[in-house]
Structure 1
Amino acid sequence: MKRKLGTRCLYCLLGPFAIGLFLGALFWVGDSIYGYVAFAARVRFLLFEQPLSLWDSFWARIPPHDLYIRVAFIVVAMVSALIVSIFLLRRSQAQERISFQASLLDAVNEAVIVTDPSGEIMYWNPAAERLYGWSQSEAIGQNIADVTVPAISQEMANEIMGKLRSGMTWTGEFECRRRDGTIFEAYVSDTPIYNIKRELAAIIGLSTDITERRQMELRLRQAQKLESIGTLASGVAHEINNPLMGMMNYAELARDRIDDVKAQGYLDEAKIEGRRIAKIVSSLLSFAAPQSEEHSPARVRDIVEQAMSLVRSHIKRSQIDLRVDIPTDLPNVRCRSGQIMQVIINLLTNAVDALNARYDGFHEDKQLVLSARLVSASGGDRAEICVEDYGKGIEAAALDRIFDPFYTSKCRTKGTGLGLSISYGIAQEHGGRLVADSVEGEYTRFSFTLPTA
């Protein structure tokens, strides 16, 4: 860098002198020719008392006043060239500084937008192109409100512009609009820029997409909520278990003390229902229990049965024809059973909602199939669990987005949009896959694969 600057300074010094000498030489030659052919040649003849040649006029016998004029011209030319060179150098340096500063703004990951006081865009960096979808050539010259501000934020945008024009800075979260019309939340920092007359010259704004951060915050809150629900469920399950065991023991004692066969049958049914409640409580405890870091071998059939014990009554109330096909010889899988239960419960719940959305009440086509099988893959055998329903199906345009966080086709009171996203993450964390296949108005099939133990 220093060598480059030194070379540039040397050029700055030598350049003006070279230009001045060149201009002086041109003047010298021109004046010599003029002096030879002009009337002044006769005057020189009288002064020197002999004929004057072109060489005499050029160099050998220059009249003193001509010599002074020529030397003065050379000096003036060199000084003028030096002044012009310094001016051009400073202008070049200023342009380089501006270009360097612009390159710095271009390299910033945040969207940087500069507008004039009326809101007309003057600068639009590459990050702004990526964030908003407008190219620099398309954005510059447009009003910022027409490019980035959705209708729902127009009133707030007017308030912000009023504050900026009064000299205040503004920082906060703001809903912005991309070129395709999608709305996203951004963290925006706007600062007014003044000229030397203390007049508002421009407004520079930095925008950062905080959608992912907000999603993480919502996920964290949802996880905390689920943790609280799990703690509550665990506590309730333990509270149910103790009196339940007492009821079953009392039913056993009562059965042994009576001879009425019909009454004994009732008590046997009570014990059966008690064991069913105990099984549900056990499944609830398994679902709510904290998961260890280690994956352990587990039977797919056992996991499915535990999940079914928690949703079977919901399926029954919805008058759905449930078909379960889980082979007994299916190999074990290495997993966290509680998390796999969570995936199955979520898929079954979604299937029930889809069937209820298509059929109100009983219908012969209101069917739900839960099956499992062994499939071969390049990385080894895998257990595949399928949940298939014949409900309303999924739109083709939405099929690629169903695993996105917070995407849901349900109303907000019925779904958070996190179920499939969490299930997808669990599948990946277990080294498996969760894929969806659907035809709108016909069926939806979710396939969940897990490596075998």
Structure 2
Amino acid sequence: MSNLSLFRSPLFIIIFTALSILLCEIMVMLLISYMPSFSPRLISLTDIISHVVILVPSFYFFLFRPLLYHIKERNSAVLELQKSEEKLAWIMNSLTDFIFVVDDRMNIIWANKAAFDLLGKNLIGKSLETAFEFKRWPSFHDKVRTCLVSCKRNEFELKIEENNETSMFLLGISFVAAWKKDGSPASAIIVLRDITETKKLQEESFRAHQLASIGELAAGVAHEINNPINGIINCAQMLLDENGLNNDRIEILHRIITAGHRIATIVGNLLSFARKREEELDWTSVKQLVSEVLKLVGTQLLKEKIDVKIIIPDDIPRIRAREYQIQQVFLNLISNARYALNKKYPNTNEKKALEIKGELVKRNDNQCVKITFSDNGNGIPVDIWNRVFDPFFTSKSTGEGTGLGLSISRSIIKNHAGKLYFETLEGEFTKMIIELPV
């Protein structure tokens, strides 16, 4: 025990006080024995003076001063503790994670600001189940209860679906328990972290790798098709060069050669589109890019009786772009327009049309090329406007869309310092608009 701790001891104070008084009385008695002529009043006065002279300095140096030091030290410690608590509270409240502390009965005894924002102000004292009642997360309650009962620390993920929405909602949950001496949990710290976007990005990355693999596979298939097609064209040309062929055979050979060249063109476009490569931005023509994409899907559009109208002036400025990426965006927008038109007009209809328009516009004192893909489909419902560009969100039927097309397209356009947005009227039309700097 340190000297300061000894001075703070109640036993020391009692002993010290008793000894001090005893010492004073002894000194007074000795003084009186040497001076028997003292009157009672003088003896009392001497007794008082001796007590004051001895006890006051003694009490000050051995009791009050250590006590004052102790009070000062304690106040300093309390102040440091308050600062530490305020700093910890500031850190906890600045976190976007939802943090709760619950007791062994699963009652909330502390929560940070994010938790209050999620569940409301009157949290403290509520049971965890009551606080989350409107969220209807039964699996969450079960997991926490299991951890408390088993006294095991755990970390797990939950898949949550709310408000009958098909979008995926994930929470990462870290559970850390504080223990009593008997080994039972005294309280638990529950950390809820919204990892929805993280999961979506992971899946988007995985899907992008899948698409890259499909692109490589398509390139391989295209090479395999290209070689025999060249052989077919060459053989047909050799037969055509022979003399004595009747008109019917000549026409058939011309058809073979024409069809072969058409296949070779499609394969060439497929190779160009599927090839994964890192290339620098280069000056390119918007009209040429649209033309190249239509070579890939033009036949399908014709088969589905979709009228394609291209309004792009020849003198429209060129843009700096990675050609294959912009082609990917154009192909996706045309594909979406096809889907919308076929859904609204399963058969031939004069309104079943896709218009691709290019024009030069001015935005914030800068010139840019505006490319608009307009269709007369069913439009985009108002309730999904804010989710159209979200990864993995699709309004198409199961198996007909990945929900990645518009998300990736917007990312590509953004990387080109451009914008991708839409204008729509439900039941009437949709315009997907790209703006790229010139």
1:162 match: 146
Matches within 5 A, 1:358-377: 358-377=344-363
Deviation at 1:338, TM superposition (A): 0.7
3-state SS of 1:448 partner:
strand
Matches within 5 A, 1:347-362: 347-362=333-348
Q: Which runs of 5+ in 1 are unaligned?
A: 1-8, 14-45, 50-60
3-state SS of 2:347 partner:
coil
> Using the alignment, how far apart are the partners of 2:78 and 2:397 within structure 1?
58
Deviation at 1:91, TM superposition (A): 7.6
Amino acid at match of 1:320: I
> Using the alignment, how far apart are the partners of 1:92 and 1:179 within structure 2?
52
Matches within 5 A, 1:8-87: 47-48=40-41, 62=45, 64=47, 68=51, 79=63, 86=70
Contact 1:106/1:127 (8 A) holds in 2:
no
Contact 1:164/1:170 (8 A) holds in 2:
no
Q: Deviations over 1:74-123 (max 9, x none)?
A: 98899589769847964873575366246325414343211112222211
- Tell me whether 1:188 sits opposite 2:177 in the alignment: no
2:371 match: 385
2:432 match: 446
C-alpha spacing 1:76/1:201, structure 2 compared with 1 (3 Å): farther
- With structure 1 as the length reference, what TM-score do the two structures score? 0.76
- Tell me whether 1:145 sits opposite 2:129 in the alignment: yes
Amino acid at match of 1:302: Q
- Tell me whether 1:126 sits opposite 2:109 in the alignment: no
3-state SS of 1:114 partner:
strand
- With structure 2 as the length reference, what TM-score do the two structures score? 0.78
C-alpha spacing 1:328/1:247, structure 2 compared with 1 (3 Å): farther
2:239 match: 254
> Using the alignment, how far apart are the partners of 1:349 and 1:138 within structure 2?
51
Deviation at 1:162, TM superposition (A): 2.2
- Tell me whether 1:342 sits opposite 2:325 in the alignment: no
Amino acid at match of 1:120: N
Q: Deviations over 1:232-288 (max 9, x none)?
A: 111111111111111112222222224322332232233222222122111111111
- Tell me whether 1:406 sits opposite 2:392 in the alignment: yes
Amino acid at match of 1:400: N
2:411 match: 425
3-state SS of 1:398 partner:
helix
Contact 2:389/2:410 (8 A) holds in 1:
yes
> Using the alignment, how far apart are the partners of 1:351 and 1:235 within structure 2?
29
Q: Which runs of 5+ in 2 are unaligned?
A: 8-38
> Using the alignment, how far apart are the partners of 1:150 and 1:247 within structure 2?
68
Q: Deviations over 1:16-54 (max 9, x none)?
A: xxxxxxxxxxxxxxxxxxxxxxxxxxxxxx9559xxxxx
Q: Deviations over 1:101-151 (max 9, x none)?
A: 46325414343211112222211123445xx6345x333333323445887
> Using the alignment, how far apart are the partners of 1:148 and 1:414 within structure 2?
36
Amino acid at match of 1:397: D
2:203 match: 218
1:34 match: none
Q: Deviations over 1:141-184 (max 9, x none)?
A: 33323445887741453144223233111112124689999973
Q: Deviations over 1:288-318 (max 9, x none)?
A: 1123331122222221122112222332343
Q: CA RMSD in A?
A: 3.6
Amino acid at match of 1:325: I
- Tell me whether 1:310 sits opposite 2:293 in the alignment: no
Of residues 227-236 and 254-263 in structure 1, the stretch that sits farther from structure 2 once superposed is 254-263
Contact 1:291/1:336 (8 A) holds in 2:
no
- Tell me whether 1:284 sits opposite 2:270 in the alignment: yes
2:317 match: 331
Contact 2:155/2:174 (8 A) holds in 1:
yes
Of residues 92-101 and 205-214 in structure 1, the stretch that sits farther from structure 2 once superposed is 92-101
- Tell me whether 1:200 sits opposite 2:213 in the alignment: no
Deviation at 1:214, TM superposition (A): 1.1
1:56 match: none
Amino acid at match of 1:369: E
Amino acid at match of 1:168: K
Amino acid at match of 2:138: Q
> Using the alignment, how far apart are the partners of 2:164 and 2:343 within structure 1?
31
> Using the alignment, how far apart are the partners of 2:220 and 2:291 within structure 1?
22
Give the counterpart of 1:107 among 76, 80, 91. Answer: 91
1:117 match: 104
> Using the alignment, how far apart are the partners of 2:278 and 2:56 within structure 1?
93
Contact 1:150/1:175 (8 A) holds in 2:
no
Contact 1:252/1:267 (8 A) holds in 2:
yes
> Using the alignment, how far apart are the partners of 2:316 and 2:141 within structure 1?
61
Contact 2:151/2:184 (8 A) holds in 1:
no
Deviation at 1:348, TM superposition (A): 0.7
What is the count of residue pairs matched by the alignment?
396
Amino acid at match of 2:202: E
> Using the alignment, how far apart are the partners of 2:139 and 2:254 within structure 1?
70
Task: Report the identity percentage.
Answer: 30
Deviation at 1:383, TM superposition (A): 2.4
3-state SS of 2:356 partner:
strand
Deviation at 1:361, TM superposition (A): 2.5
